[in-house]
């Protein structure tokens, strides 16, 4: 398969996984969602490569809606990680290291951490080292740099789920105003995917009991009304669930 067709297959597979997770999040607890997606894919490599893009959001129906984690799904996720294992070395944050591998390392850490918690380990023996994160990364309320920082936090939005906590979450707790500014800026720029991802952190902070400089609920509804796409629909649905908590 040529690179362009492979990229399209991975994107379509990632959209399909997001659609399945969204359906499971909205509906009653049902059947396995990841394993069937692996079975029907024309190219079996596509779901395995696309799964890291969805990351811990695979478990959103479990941690937010009480859906069961089916054994078939857990095995399918473990299979995806065996095909594309996380890096063994601790990823350094930019500018000390490249941004792409660092972001992927955080997504892998979130997925493996939640899978381990939800299965009790269950003999899967998956590991993903937690990447390095600068302690002073979050900007102060009156400091510059909030725009770039909020976009990067949006790229880590798959970590904004119950059951995960760490330096990224601490950074969010320290800078709710920067996140509110970032989400508002993205809406004004009509960059709704970025707005939805940053708004997830605001929804997570609200569920965590942090006082916010704006009401996250109407912001999330506004984003959901004006934007489309499977990935964005899932982000918005997760934010709604977090707000309801």
What is the reported pLDDT for 39? 52
Per-residue confidence at 48, pLDDT binned at 50, 70, 90? low
Give the C-alpha separation, 17 to 11, whole Å: 10
Distance CA 182, CA 194 (A): 9
Tokens (6 digits) for 235: 């982000």
Model confidence at 201, pLDDT cuts 50, 70, 90, reads very high
Look at residue 44 in the predicted model and tell me its pLDDT: 53
Q: In sequence order, which residues have a C-beta less than 8 Å from that of residue 161 and are 6 or more positions away?
A: 56, 57, 59, 60, 63, 64, 110, 114, 204, 238
Q: In terms of Cα–Cα distance, which of 137, 244, 151 is closest to 193?
A: 151
Confirm if 33 and 73 have CB atoms less than 8 A apart. Answer: yes
Q: What angle do CA 63, 111, 2 make, to 5 degrees?
A: 125
Cis-peptide into 95, omega within 30 deg: yes
Three-state SS string across 96-133, please?
CCCHHHHHHHHHHHHHHHHHHHHHCCCCCCCCCCCCCC
Residue 219 has which token pair? 């912001």
CA of 156: how far to CAs of 19, 36, 130, 191, 240, in Å?
A: 20, 27, 13, 16, 18
- Euclidean distance between CA atoms 27 and 59, whole angstroms: 14
Kindly report, residue by residue over 51-62, the tens digit of the pLDDT.
Answer: 666 888 988 989
Per-residue pLDDT at 29 exceeds 80: no
Most confident stretch, 18-22, 154-158, 227-231: 154-158
**Burial class, 95, CB count within 10 angstroms (exposed 0-12 / middle 13-18 / buried 19+):** exposed
Region 182-210: mean pLDDT is 96
pLDDT (tens digit per residue) in 119-141 = 886 656 677 888 877 655 666 55
Percent of the chain with pLDDT over 70: 78
Confidence at residue 54, expressed as pLDDT on a 0 to 100 scale = 80
Say if residues 102 and 94 touch (Cβ distance below 8 Å): yes
Say which residue the tokens 């490569």 belong to: 49
Question: In the chain, where are the structural domains located?
Answer: 1-132, 134-245
Residue 102 reports pLDDT greater than 80: yes
């Amino acid at each position: 398969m040529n690179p362009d067709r492979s990229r399209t297959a991975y994107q379509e597979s990632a959209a399909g996984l997001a659609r399945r997770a969204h359906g499971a999040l909205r509906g009653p607890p049902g059947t396995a969602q990841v394993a069937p997606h692996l079975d029907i894919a024309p190219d079996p490599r596509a779901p395995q490569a696309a799964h890291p893009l969805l990351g811990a959001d695979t478990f959103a129906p479990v941690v937010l809606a009480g859906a069961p984690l089916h054994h078939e799904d857990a095995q399918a996720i473990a299979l995806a990680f065996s095909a594309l294992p996380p890096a063994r070395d601790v990823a350094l944050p930019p500018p000390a290291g490249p941004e792409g591998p660092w972001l992927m390392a955080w997504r892998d850490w979130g997925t493996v951490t939640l899978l381990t918690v939800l299965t009790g380990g269950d003999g899967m023996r998956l590991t993903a080292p937690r990447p390095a994160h600068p302690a002073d990364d979050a900007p102060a309320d009156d400091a510059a740099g909030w725009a770039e920082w909020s976009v990067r936090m949006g790229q880590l939005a798959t970590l904004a789920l119950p059951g995960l906590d760490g330096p990224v979450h601490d950074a969010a707790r320290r800078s709710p105003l920067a996140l509110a500014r970032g989400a508002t800026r993205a809406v004004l720029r009509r960059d709704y995917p970025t707005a939805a991802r940053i708004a997830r952190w605001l929804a997570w902070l609200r569920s965590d009991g942090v006082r916010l400089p704006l009401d996250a609920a109407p912001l999330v509804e506004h984003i959901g009304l004006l934007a489309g796409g499977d990935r964005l629909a899932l982000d918005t649905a997760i934010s709604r669930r977090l707000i309801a908590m």
